[in-house]
Structure 1
Amino acid sequence: MATQFEDSYHRKFYYLRLSITDVCNFRCTYCLPDGYKPTHKNSGFLSVDELRRVVSAFAHCGTSKVRITGGEPTLRKDFTDILSMIAEQDGIEKIAMTTNGYRLEKNAQAWRDAGLTNINVSVDSLDPRMFHQITGENKFDLVMRGIDAAFDAGFEQVKVNAVLLKDLNSGELPAFLNWIKDKPIQLRFIELMQTGEMDSLFERHHVSGVSIRNHLIANGWLMKVRGKSDGPAEVFCHPDYKGEIGLIMPYKKDFCDSCNRLRVSALGKLHMCLFGDYGVDLRDLLQDDAQEDALVARIQGQLADKKQSHFLDQGHTGMTPHLASIGG
C-alpha cells in the first residue's frame, strides 16, 4: 500500500465520496428547487475507466469506503457496471450510495449482487403531500416500496436521510420515531446547510439539530461509538427501538475534527471539503494506469492545504452553489 492519505492536522482519509453525475430528476427545495440545469460544457462525466483509476489510487492509499453520489447517481445507465468495478478493487470494504430512491424498487437486488453494501435513501417527510412539496415529485409511495425492496434484497439496515426544515417537516420527529420503532432503519436528520444559492431559504428554514439531540438524550437514547470509516453523524440507539437516529450537525464547533473523507466530482475535480473554495483537476491524470503515482502525489500535495474546518459557523459557504454540484 502507498502512503496513507493524511493532512497536516493528522487526519487520515478512509472514505471517498465519488460523484458520478450532477444530474438529478428531483427538485428539492434545499438543493435544486428549479430543477437540474447543466452548468458545464466539456467531455462529460468521468467514464468507468476514469472512475476506476480514481478508486484504485484511493484504495492504494488506505481508503476502505466509497460512497457513490450525484445528483442522482442511479440515472447513469452504467451504474451497475460502476458498482461492479468498485467491488473488484482490493482494499474497498464498503460500497455505499446515496439515492432519492427513484429506481430502488426495481434494482435493489441487482445492485446488491453487483457489490453494493450500504444504502442511504433521502426521505424528507413521511407525509406524502409534504414529501411532494419538498422534493417537487409525487413519488413517496415509490420510494417507500424501494426501501422495502432493499430489505427484501438482503440489506440488513437502510439509512434514511431527512433534511430538517423549519415550518415544513420539523414537526415530524414523533412520526419518524414511530416509523423506526420496529424497522432497522438509521434515520439521519441533516441540519440544513447554507450554500451559495440558498441564503434566503436558509434564513427561513434552518433549524438546529441540537434540539433533537437534547430530546433524544432526555428520552433514553444513547450515543454509539464511531467507526474509522463512518461519516460525521452522531448515532443514537435505544433499547426499545430497532432503528437508530443519526444527527449531522455541521454547525457544531468540533464537527470537522474527525473529518475522514475526500470528494471527487463527476467532472474529475478533487474537493477537500463540501464547502471549500476550489476544486483541483485530476482528469489529466486519469487517462491511463501508468499515471497513478502522479495522481497520488497530486492528491497528497493538496492535503497539505486542507483547512482545519469549513468555518460554516462563521458564515463561510465556500464556492459550492448547491449540494448536487459535487455530491453533497
Structure 2
Amino acid sequence: MAMLADRFGRSFPYLRLSLLEACNFRCGYCLPDGHHAAHGQPSLLSLPEIERLLRAFAALGMRKLRLTGGEPTLRKDLVDVIALAASVPEIEKIAMTTNGVLLRRQVRDWRAAGLTALNVSVDSLDRERFAAITGHDRLDDILAGVEDALGLGFDAVKLNAVLLRGLNDEQLPAWLDYLRERDIAIRFIELMQTGDNRDYFERHHVRAEALQSQLEAAGWRAQPRAADAGPAIEYAHPDYAGRIGVIAPYARDFCASCNRLRVTAKGDLRLCLFGEIGIPLRPLLQDDSQHELLCATISRQLGIKRDAHRLHQGQTGLVPHLASIGG
C-alpha cells in the first residue's frame, strides 16, 4: 500500500482535522463578525466516520494528529473524539489548538482522554489589546488555564499569536518577560491573506523576517526541526526557559518542508491550506468495508499536490477564513 508521500519527496505524517467551523471569538483577522452557520450545510463528521478516517490515515503513516476548528472545544463530544484518537495504536501524538476559553473547566478531562499537546491562541499579553483583537475580554482566565495546563504533564504547551502591525508587533519585550521562567513556547504566525480579509491584511500584515532578525540579533538561535513538527522555526536562548517559534508562510521555500494534510469538518481532504480543490472523503467513511478504497483514494491525491501555495500571487484558494479549515 502506498504511503503518504508526494512527487516532490515530501512525506506527511501529520494530519490536521477540523472538528467544526464555529467559533465563539470574533478575531479581526478571521471572523470579525462572528460565526454564522449556513443553512442546508452537511452535518459534521460523526464519531464512527472520524474513526474510519483516522484509521485510514494511520495505516498510511500518519503519526501526529491535531484537532482544530473553528474552535474545537465547542464540540460537545470532544472528549470522545480525543479518546477515539488515543485508541488508534499508530497515532503517537494528539494535539489540539484552542482559544482557551474552556481550559480551566475542561483541560484535565482532555488530558485524561489522551491529549498529549496543546496550543492556545493568545494574540497579546495586554488585556485591552487582547480584547480589541479577539472581541472578548477573557485574557486573565485563559492565562490562568494555561498555568493549569502546564502542571498536567503535556508533552508540549504552546501559545499562538498572529503578528499584527499596529496591534501587537511591538510587544516582544512583554513576551520575553513571560518566557524567562516558563517552559513554554510562543509561536508568532505571520498574518495570511484569506478570501475575505484582504483589507485587514493590507492594514496589519508585517513580515515575519523582521521578527526573526530581531531575535537573532538578541542571541536567539534556531533549533533543529523534528520530522513531524509543524511549520514553525523554533528559537531558543540560554537565558530563557521558554522558546519562540516563527511561522513565516511568505518566506522563500516555506512549503519545501510541508509535512501535513488537512481534513475539513465535513470530510473533505485539503492537500494545502490554500489549495483550490477539496476531495470529498465522506462517501468512503460510511462502513468498514471501504477502508482499502479510502486509503487508496487518499494516497492517489498526493500525486496532484502542488509544490507550493500561491499566496505571493494573492491566490487564497478555497479558504474564505481560517476558521473554515483550522489554519
TM class, shorter-chain normalised? over 0.9
Matched, 1:6 2:10: no
Kept after mapping to 2: 8 A contact 1:24/1:75: yes
User: Is the contact between residue 3 and residue 299 of structure 2 (CA under 8 Å) also seen in structure 1?
Assistant: no
Q: 1-side partners of 2:298 and 2:92: how far apart?
A: 21
Q: 1:17 deviation in Å?
A: 0.1
What is aligned with 2:230?
231
Structure-1 residue corresponding to 2:59: 60
Q: Please name the residue that 1:74 is paired with.
A: 73
1:28 counterpart SS class? coil
> Is 1:21–1:45's contact at 8 Å kept on the other side of the alignment?
yes
Give me the whole-angstrom Cα distance separating, in 1, the residues matched to 2:176 and 2:206: 18
Q: Distance in 2 between matches of 1:151 and 1:270?
A: 33
Alignment of 1:170-181 (within 5 A): 170-181=169-180
1:326 aligns with: 325
In structure 2, C-alpha distance between the alignment counterparts of 1:253 and 1:50, rounded to whole Å: 38
Q: What TM-score do the two structures reach when normalised by structure 1?
A: 0.98
SS of the residue aligned with 2:231?
coil
CA-CA distance at 1:92 after TM superposition? 0.4
User: Residues 305 and 40 (structure 1 numbering): CA distance in 2 closer, same or farther, change over 3 Å?
Assistant: farther
Structure 1 residue 157 displacement after superposition: 3.4
Give CA-to-partner distance per residue, 1:27-46, whole Å, 9 cap, x none: 00000000001136234100
Q: Do the aligned partners of 2:2 and 2:296 also contact (CA within 8 Å) in 1?
A: no
62-71 vs 215-224, which moves further:
215-224
1:139 aligns with 2:157: no
The residue aligned with 1:270 is 269
- Whether the aligned pair in 1 keeps the contact of 2:116 and 2:156 (CA below 8 Å) is no
User: 1:21-36 maps to which residues of 2 (within 5 A)?
Assistant: 21-36=20-35
- Following superposition, the deviation at residue 4 of structure 1 comes to 1.6
Instruction: Report how far residue 314 of structure 1 moved.
Output: 2.5
One-letter amino acid matched to 1:193: M
AA at the equivalent of 1:31? C
Deviations 1:216-239 (Å, cap 9, x if unpaired)? 111111111111110110000011
Match of 1:262, SS?
Answer: strand
Please list every run of 5 or more consecutive structure 2 residues that lacks an aligned counterpart in the other structure. none
Distance 1:297 1:254 in 2: 29
Compare 245-254 and 295-304 and name the one that shifted more.
295-304
1:154-193 superposed Cα distances (whole Å, 9 cap, x missing partner): 2253110000110111111111111111101110000000
RMSD (Å), alpha carbons? 1.0
Please list, as runs of the form range in 1=range in 2, the aligned pairs for 1:247-258 lying within 5 A after superposition: 247-258=246-257
Work out the CA distance in 2 between the residues paired with 1:224 and 1:213: 13
* TM-score, L = length of structure 2: 0.98
SS of corresponding position for 1:270: strand
1:243 paired residue number: 242
User: Which amino acid is the alignment partner of residue 138 of structure 2?
Assistant: K
Aligned to 1:83: 82
1:183 corresponds to which residue? 182
1: CA distance, partners of 2:39 / 2:66? 23
For this pair of structures, how many residues does the alignment match? 327
CA contact (8 A) 1:253 1:313 kept: no
Superposed counterparts of 1:30-45, under 5 Å: 30-39=29-38, 41-45=40-44
Distance 1:240 1:41 in 2: 54
Structure-2 separation of matches of 1:39 and 1:326 = 15
**Residue 127 (structure 2) aligns with:** 128
Question: Is the Cα–Cα contact under 8 Å of residues 233 and 248 in structure 1 kept in the other structure?
Answer: yes
Distance in 2 of aligned mates of 1:39 and 1:304: 33
